[in-house]
Amino acid sequence: MSDGLNERALPHNLEAEKGVLGGILRDPDELPTVQQLLRPDNFYLDAHQKIYAAILELANENLPIDLVMLHERLKRNKQLEDVGGALYLTELWEAVPTGANAEYHARIVRDAAMVRSLIHAGTEILREAYERTQSADELVAQAERRIMDIARAGLIGETKTLSEAIHEAFARIDARTGRDSSQLAVSGLPTGYVDLDNLLAGLQNSELIVIAARPSVGKTAFALNIVRNVITNYDAATHGGEAGPPVLFVSLEMTRIELAERLLCCQARVDSHKVRKGTLHAEDIQKLMDAGDVLRRAKLYLDDTPSRSMMQIAALARRLMKKHEKEGGLRLVVIDYLQLIEPENRRDPRQEQVAQISRRLKFLARELGIPVVALAQVNRASEERQDHKPRLADLRESGSIEQDADTVLILHRPGRYEGSQEDNILEVIVAKQRNGPTGEITLTYLKPYNRYENYIADISYSGDGL
């Protein structure tokens, strides 16, 4: 069992293992609790693995669990001598006076098993790193995958009664109704758009929100506008002068400089085309500088590393959550966009790759307890329809995106198709909302600034600006 560890014994606690098995024999009603914590391979001693597996067999067959039945099952499995015979089973019975502490002992056994798994994984990571049979990126990804597998294996299911769940539900209801009247419509993170917040009640914690559209409709601009609203529409006076809540924006398509330019133009209301051409007036430059002063105070983290995998994105989000835990942690993650996330296994069919990514996004939202917004492409089917409006079924490459998402917002700009000079309207179709109504809202699109605002009917747009 050395595994290159200088013959040091791996962490284990044989007394706790005996306590678990003896406790089950003393009180078989403790087995369901222990089963939530332990698998047979979590035991260090091979004899204990076989005894626990035999106990599980008896339970699965709805047979009594006692010394006689366990003795006969091990004998039938030709394992009785391997585990030390009837004498050792009696020793287990005598190891504890009661089964009351079986769960406590099981947690000790589980913790030791997790540490052993970490040691084995660390040894493999070291060996592969020295051998260098893979690229550095592949080694890092594989190492992170091993650690994540151990973490997932250590997750413990927790069941609660309806009474406890109702108590928690009322606590959340009380927290929502305790806000002042101006905030009553929004229980989640406000998007800054009145009609959208009325429909969604804000971006809800632990939910995966998908923003979908055809290329060039304005997914990135819309997501950046929501982020800008979150980090700037913040009552600093009630938060000790602090900037807005920490937000992570993962861009797999645009560089951080491009994103920064967009945010500056949007905040300053300066024509982005003038910025690209370098034909700015003194007034424009002053507006940009003022906007920069506002945005610099924000805790917006931009990651423009190409070829990010879900494990890398999740690790980055966890680090930021830890970094800001004193402030309540990270409040929002935005990923642009879902189909550009690197799959864990390139050999899988594309549909399965996207399905795995969407599931991991949902798990990330639940793990961190914050909204996760993922942008996504829709296919060409909408181009053939008379109204050109995309639908849920148009989400590209996988129906699992629709299944995993709690909310799906589909963007549509009718001005692109109607042959009209007017292109100042964005329709946001709430095509799915797991815990609320669907519907459609309209925003005003100020194209020169890549800016969306609450809809005002009498604003018109001309190609040269407003």
Question: What are the C-alpha distances in Å from 460 to residues 202, 424, 425?
Answer: 28, 7, 9
| Contact by Cβ (8 Å): 439, 431 | no
Give me 298's structure tokens.
């924000």
Rounding to the nearest 10 degrees, give the CA dihedral for residues 280, 286, 290, 291: -10
Q: Spot the catalytic one: 124, 253, 352, 440.
A: 253
| Contact by Cβ (8 Å): 170, 163 | no
Q: In what order do the strands lie in the sheet with 372-377?
A: 300-303, 247-251, 332-336, 372-377, 208-213, 407-412, 425-433, 439-446, 451-454
- Max alpha carbon distance in the chain (Å)? 93
The vertex-385 CA angle with 384 and 391, nearest 5°, equals 105
The verdict on whether 253 is a catalytic residue reads yes
185 by DSSP, 3-state: which? coil
User: Can you say how many angstroms the Cα of residue 58 is from the centroid of all Cα atoms in its chain?
Assistant: 38
Question: What are the C-alpha distances in Å from 179 to residues 131, 167, 187, 237, 240?
Answer: 59, 19, 9, 17, 19
Rounded distance between C-alpha atoms, residue 37 and residue 155, angstroms: 9
Rounded distance between C-alpha atoms, residue 53 and residue 82, angstroms: 13
Residues recognised as catalytic: 253
